[in-house]
Amino acid sequence: MVGRILIVYYSWSGNTRRVAQVIHEIVGGDLVELEPVEPYPESYSATLERAKKEIRAGLRPPLKTTIEGVKDYDTIFVGSPNWWGTIAPPVTSFLSQHNLSGKTVVPFFTHGGGGLQKMLDDLKKLCPQSKVLQPLTIYEDGGGNLKERVRRWLIEIGALSK
């Protein structure tokens, strides 16, 4: 990859964190986990219920995480779990707070069976002046071959040479 790299993500269960860490091992850069001011509940069903309400209402929860100098990065990897068919509200908050015009945005998503759904389209709407590359979509934590899958994806999108 050329230029400064930021890997930013939200992870409730740890799956998206695992993918982010593997990407970081391979490409380097700065790794930042987004934390909402009000953490999501430990209960999966309570978290899904809160997320559903936030998504339907278009809420963008305030973040405890601050990232200085986002404008100084050239490539920004953005990771999110699939919540109700779209990106998690903390990721929406981050994308809404920062102008990523002219940046290369590299999405990576995790899911528990829902696949990609509207995640890429919704991310593109929040980054209309960015070059958005093809996403990596991983079921749960990616299993034992995660590192090889990430490496192949990075080569396919031109972010890593063979």
In-domain check, residue 162: no
Does the model's pTM come out above 0.85?
Answer: yes
Our count of domains for the chain comes to 1
Residue % of the chain over a pLDDT of 70: 99
Retrieve residue 74's tokens.
């050239």
Comparing C-alpha atoms, which of 53, 59, 126 is closest to residue 84? Answer: 53
In-domain check, residue 24: yes
**In which domain, by residue range, is 111 found?**
5-156
Please state, in angstroms and rounded to a whole number, the distance separating the CA atoms of residues 79 and 16: 6
Greatest mean pLDDT range, 134-138, 140-144, 158-162: 134-138
Residue linked to tokens 């034992």 = 144
In-domain check, residue 130: yes
Look up the CATH number of the domain holding residue 48. Answer: 3.40.50.360
Write out pLDDT tens, residues 12-29: 999 999 999 999 999 999
Indicate the helix (H) or strand (E) that contains 55. Answer: helix 44-57
In-domain check, residue 161: no
**Integer CA distances (angstroms), 144 to 9, 140, 141, 150, in order:** 21, 12, 9, 12
Please state, in angstroms and rounded to a whole number, the distance separating the CA atoms of residues 71 and 69: 5
